[in-house]
Amino acid sequence: MQIFEAAPPESGPSLALHGGAGGRVEELALAPYAQGLLAAYRAGWQVLAAGGDALDAVCASVEVLENDPQFNAGRGAALTATGSAELDASVMTGAGLAGAVAASKYARNPVRLARAVMEHTEHVLIVDPDVEFLERYGIEAAERGYFITEARQQQLDRVTDGRAVAARHGTVGAVARDARGHVAAATSTGGMTGQSDGRVGDSPIVGAGVYARDNVAAISCTGHGEAFIRGVVAYDVVARIRYAGTGLAEAVRGTFEEELTQRGSTGGLVAVGGDGRIVVAHNSPAMFSARGSGPEPALTT
């Protein structure tokens, strides 16, 4: 397992984001991912540097990644067994508010839809919302073909033909602590290549793929979704800190060992503590991430 830990800043905000955990990528193919991560980080940091909220920052970062077809979220998301894109996303604030969407087929940016669920409805999770639902809350819709790229179609064909194994990883997410000390998290994904229509992973499940609590931590996960749901991974990390007084890195390590590694599952997460400390961790071969407490992040690809 690999853990990267950055000490809390003397003052000011912190931001970390991930572009999915999984297998290693050939060196020559890393540049587009690095560029995408950098663009997403700068979008979130611009919000924080201007004194903005942690929620605005994580949504800004995730939206950039959803628009980048290199990543498994929004446009360029993994396709189901029938060749369609079913998108999941969630947001949570350190004050305990949360919103999520599962099997979204029309929202250009599912993270915006998840936020709308949180801010404009009495619900936490909405499944398969129609275009009318999006229009009601001013969420931009896209034709279903917008989400499908040639690369993802070829990936599905290889899985369908038995030439490749469906990757269980590939999600984007961000966590932030703003200048006022509030934290927030957001996660977005297209799921697994070749998954059954209607399958929902951990990304839109509060406590599994996302969790935030002020003065404790904010978590966004990526990996084998079913394992993260069974282990309630995001919440388990926060609970170890909140109830046992465990440090952030130690809490992440303990949760991964007990809920993932010992069960033969892999993945990763980004976390920011209530003090602004950042932890990036994964037990998969690699994970794309960016983290920092300033305008230029440290990148891991």
Per-residue pLDDT, averaged over 83-92, amounts to: 97
Model pLDDT, residue 82 = 95
Model pLDDT, residue 30 = 81
**Domain 2-300 CATH superfamily:** (Glycosyl)asparaginase (3.60.20.30)
Residue 11 has pLDDT above 90, yes or no: no
What are the residues whose beta carbons fall under 8 Å from the beta carbon of 290, sequence distance 6 or more?
A: 16, 17, 37, 38, 40, 41, 297, 298, 299, 300
Convert the pLDDT of each residue in 152-190 to its tens digit: 999 999 988 877 665 655 799 999 999 999 999 999 999
Model pLDDT, residue 124 = 98
The reported pTM is: 0.95
Active-site hit among 80, 171, 189, 266:
171
Catalytic, 171? Answer: yes
What are the residues whose beta carbons fall under 8 Å from the beta carbon of 174, sequence distance 6 or more?
A: 15, 16, 17, 18, 40, 44, 57, 58, 61, 62, 185, 186, 220, 270
Model pLDDT, residue 165 = 65
Residue 14 has pLDDT above 60, yes or no: yes
The pLDDT confidence band at residue 2, using thresholds 50, 70 and 90, is: very high
Convert the pLDDT of each residue in 20-79 to its tens digit: 887 655 554 688 899 999 999 999 999 999 999 999 999 999 999 999 999 999 999 999
Q: What residues are paired with 20 via a beta bridge? A: 288
State the DSSP string of 139-200: PPB--GGGG--HHHHHHHHHHHTTSSPPPS--EEEEEEE-TTS-EEEEEEE---TTPPTT--
Convert the pLDDT of each residue in 223-275 to its tens digit: 999 999 999 999 999 999 999 999 999 999 999 999 999 999 999 999 999 99
Model pLDDT, residue 27 = 52
Per-residue pLDDT, averaged over 119-146, amounts to: 97
Q: What residues are paired with 89 via a beta bridge? A: 101, 188
Per-residue pLDDT, averaged over 98-102, amounts to: 98
Model pLDDT, residue 22 = 72
